[in-house]
Structure 1
Amino acid sequence: MADETNNPDLEVNAASVSDGAYTLIIADFSDTDMAWEAYETLKSVEDGRSVEIEGVIVVRRTTEGRLEIQKATDHSTKSGLKWGVVGGIALGVIFPPSILGSAAVAGGAGAIVGKLRQRHHNHELEQKLENAITPGHSGLLALVSDPGEIKIRKALERAETIVESTLEQVEADDIKAAAKEVQGAHA
């Protein structure tokens, strides 16, 4: 559906596949700089009260279709979790291993992500998200508790496409717990 008020070229595809406790948002940007601008905007509006963002990561999809995490200056949420670690674990749990670059999972969390992936494997979700970022484009992956928050929408207004998928509380909790485990191991 086109968002006529903010950007007539913005196409938003959204569907619900769970209880909606958290939403995974993937925004596709034709330009890496725009993805970084959105990241910085999200970083500036996250306050832990009205805007709660659990994890964000910027990725680039190669022309061959592989996803590569871009180097990020990490940001701690109010709960102390690191955006990049949470985003990297979410990336590893949600996307099929066949399209993830070798360094795709942040913080050496490969074994943890493998276990979570087996537990939460959702073929429908995987198919929906696998092509959310066009080859040759960059993207931003964010795990948020309120996707309708206007500040989040404003940060993503330059995205060409936004794909959203709700995650169950248990999935989000597992991702956050894995991020804490990785943080603890690297502290």
Structure 2
Amino acid sequence: MSNSDGVFLYIGTYQDEPAARSDYAIVKSLHASHVIGTYDAAVITKDAIGRVHVNKDETATRRGGWGGAAAGAVVGILFPPAIIGSAIVGAAVGGISGHLWRGMSRSDVKELGDLLDAGEAALLVVGDTTLGAALEKAELRAEKHVAKELDVSTTDIDAAVKAAADDVV
């Protein structure tokens, strides 16, 4: 899909959480400098019993409505609910999951899940297509990474978030 309204997904793995958080800070600074537009991000860790934890902060820096829903939706696609240690709930996550799921092939899901299983910590970033080039130039320090442009538009994600917000009101 190569258009300016596309969704880009980046997952990088790290030896530890501080290394993932360091690259997360770079992503936040790219947004603050207006180098990247729409995005949502999270640092993902696994505990000793294999439960996945999604660590997020500063949702106000992300595009208004996405506020954590896009990264949560990707985690929900990649991992079964039984191993997710933090609550990922809400209609917005469900609506976005549907769009993102349709934008990924089964091999994409397997590749991304396998990558996350291999590391101690990961940085997950979901954003518009400006994200890909910006992250490449930023030279993040992930040990391994996968970057994919998904066959879904940011307009679809925005609509799913708006629909969920309308359902709540």
Scaled by the length of structure 2, the TM-score of the pair is 0.73
Residue matched to 1:178 = 160
**Which residue identity does 2:41 align to in structure 1?**
V
| AA at the equivalent of 1:143 | V
**1:11-90 → structure 2 map (5 Å cutoff):** 19-20=1-2, 21-47=6-32, 49-62=34-47, 64-77=49-62, 79-90=63-74
Structure 2 unaligned residues grouped into runs of 5+: none
CA contact (8 A) 1:81 1:180 kept: yes
Letter of the structure 2 residue corresponding to residue 175 of structure 1: I
> 3-state SS of the aligned residue for 2:140?
coil
Distance 1:104 1:179, change over 3 A: farther
Query: How many Å separate the matches in 2 of 1:40 and 1:28?
Result: 15
Give 1:139's aligned residue. Answer: 122
Which deviates the most, 117-126 or 82-91?
117-126
More helix by share: 2
Q: Distance in 2 between matches of 1:47 and 1:90?
A: 23
1:133 aligned counterpart, secondary structure: helix
Structure 1 unaligned regions, length at least 5 = 1-18
Partner amino acid, structure 2, of 1:178: A
Of 114-123 and 27-36, deviating more is 114-123
Map Cα deviations across residues 49-89 of structure 1 (whole Å, 9 max, x no partner): 53224211111134554422014232333x42344232212
Alpha carbons of structure 1 residues 53 and 112: separation in structure 2 relative to 1, 3 Å: closer
Asked whether the 8 Å contact 2:104–2:151 carries over to 1, the reply is no
Aligned-pair identity (%): 23
What is the RMSD of the two structures over their aligned residues, measured on CA atoms? 3.3
Alignment counterpart, residue 123 of structure 1, candidates 106, 113, 117: 106
Equivalent AA in structure 2 for residue 105 of structure 1: I
Q: Distance in 2 between matches of 1:76 and 1:184?
A: 22
